[in-house]
Amino acid sequence: MSRSYYIAGNWKMHNTRAQSAELAQALVTELKDGKHKYLVAPTFSSIETVSAIVEGTNIRLGAQNCAAEEQGAHTGEVSVLQLKDLGVQTIILGHSERRHTYKEDDVLINKKVKLALKHGFEVILCIGELLEEREAGKVEEVCERQTVKGLEGVDASDLGNVVIAYEPVWAIGTGKTATPEDAEVVHAFVRKVIACLYGDNAASKMIIQYGGSVKADNAAQLMAMENIDGALVGGASLKVDTFVPIAKFKS
Ligand code: PEP
């Protein structure tokens, strides 16, 4: 089963509107002939600016989070309705910074996943173990739990709008990348979990990105692995010079 590669940039809490616009504009130019699927997820305050630049191009517009409710008294939160209004197509959910710094649990993440899918968004569901969980031999247990609970109640008919990003937490922003072989073991395991939940056909179609210090010099080796279908890129997505070589990696 051939899956297309999907390269996403998570800009986190970086960039003013002007800086975001400059980066987005350069990416539109550089990636217009790119062969893969692309996404940028700016910080909330830059989404509208970037939306106007990427609209109608081969770069999708992402958000880094959303509220678990549609609207109401939720100070500081941003709703799926507001993201839709800005042209957002994809929402990253369950990122390790949301899980561990902001204490989002599987129940809350699952609520957001279902709400985003109900409103027609594509969801990138991030999963991944902490270093102590890896050292305790719990990689599979953690990734299985986060996948199963994250997708609880998600109908098979919505699965085409779900992407999984395996991001070992110890590799995020640390410069330590999982070896392609180590990452592949987990990706293959997660695909098996999807097969148990939804069947082999659905599992064979599921895009599973790798995230964690992906750089130009390791992207091709990672994505050469059978079950690694792209990358969710943090730090290296903030500069054209570092993101474009990843986005245009040679398969
Ligand atoms: C991320 O935050 O999703 C990420 C993978 O970050 P980095 O590429 O900087 O490790």
With a 6 Å cutoff on the Cβ, whether 128 touches ligand 1 is no
Closest ligand 1 atom to 237 CA: 8
Would you tell me how many other CB atoms lie within 10 Å of the CB of residue 17? 15
Domain annotation covers residue 1: no
pLDDT at position 1 is 56
The residues near 185 (Cβ < 8 Å, ≥ 6 apart) are none
231 sits in the region (left: phi over 0; alpha: psi -120 to 50; else beta) called beta
pLDDT at position 2 is 74
SS3 of residue 33 by DSSP: coil
Would you tell me how many other CB atoms lie within 10 Å of the CB of residue 82? 17
Q: Ligand 1 centre from 90 Cα, in Å?
A: 17
With a 6 Å cutoff on the Cβ, whether 9 touches ligand 1 is no
Q: Ligand 1 centre from 167 Cα, in Å?
A: 8
Contact 180, 224 (CB under 8 A): yes
With a 6 Å cutoff on the Cβ, whether 213 touches ligand 1 is yes
pLDDT at position 20 is 98
**CATH code of the domain in which 57 resides:** 3.20.20.70
Domain annotation covers residue 73: yes
For the chain, report the end-to-end CA distance as a whole number of angstroms. 16
pLDDT at position 177 is 83
The residues near 167 (Cβ < 8 Å, ≥ 6 apart) are 95, 96, 126, 127, 128, 210, 211, 212, 232
With a 6 Å cutoff on the Cβ, whether 167 touches ligand 1 is yes
β pairing state of 59-63 and 37-41: parallel
* Residue whose CA is at the smallest distance from ligand 1 atom 7: 234
Contact 127, 194 (CB under 8 A): no
pLDDT at position 178 is 87
**For residue 194, what are its two tokens?**
């999807």
* Residue whose CA is at the smallest distance from ligand 1 atom 8: 234
pLDDT at position 176 is 83
Q: What are the residues facing 40 on neighbouring strands?
A: 9, 61
Indicate the burial class of 217 (C-beta count within 10 angstroms; 0-12, 13-18, 19 or more).
exposed
Contact 106, 150 (CB under 8 A): yes
Ligand 1 probe mutation, 172, 208, 218, 239, most atoms within 8 A of CB: 172
* Residue whose CA is at the smallest distance from ligand 1 atom 2: 234
pLDDT in tens, the chain (251 residues): 579 999 999 999 999 999 999 999 999 999 999 999 999 999 999 999 999 999 999 999 999 999 999 999 999 999 999 999 999 999 999 999 999 999 999 999 999 999 999 999 999 999 999 999 999 999 999 999 999 999 999 999 999 999 999 999 999 988 888 899 999 999 999 999 999 999 999 999 999 999 999 999 999 999 999 999 999 999 999 999 999 999 999 87
Domain annotation covers residue 79: yes
Domain annotation covers residue 202: yes
Contact 191, 146 (CB under 8 A): no
Query: Which residue range is the domain that position 186 belongs to?
Result: 6-247
The residues near 169 (Cβ < 8 Å, ≥ 6 apart) are 96, 100, 128, 129, 130, 131
Rounded to whole angstroms, the Cα distance separating 196 from 179 reads 26
Domain annotation covers residue 230: yes
Domain annotation covers residue 35: yes
Would you tell me how many other CB atoms lie within 10 Å of the CB of residue 121? 22
Q: Is 36 a catalytic residue?
A: no
pLDDT at position 250 is 83
Q: How many domains does the chain have?
A: 1
Would you tell me how many other CB atoms lie within 10 Å of the CB of residue 206? 22
Please tell me what DSSP assigns to residue 169: G
**For residue 173, what are its two tokens?**
């922003």
Would you tell me how many other CB atoms lie within 10 Å of the CB of residue 27? 24
51 sits in the region (left: phi over 0; alpha: psi -120 to 50; else beta) called alpha
Q: Is 95 a catalytic residue?
A: yes
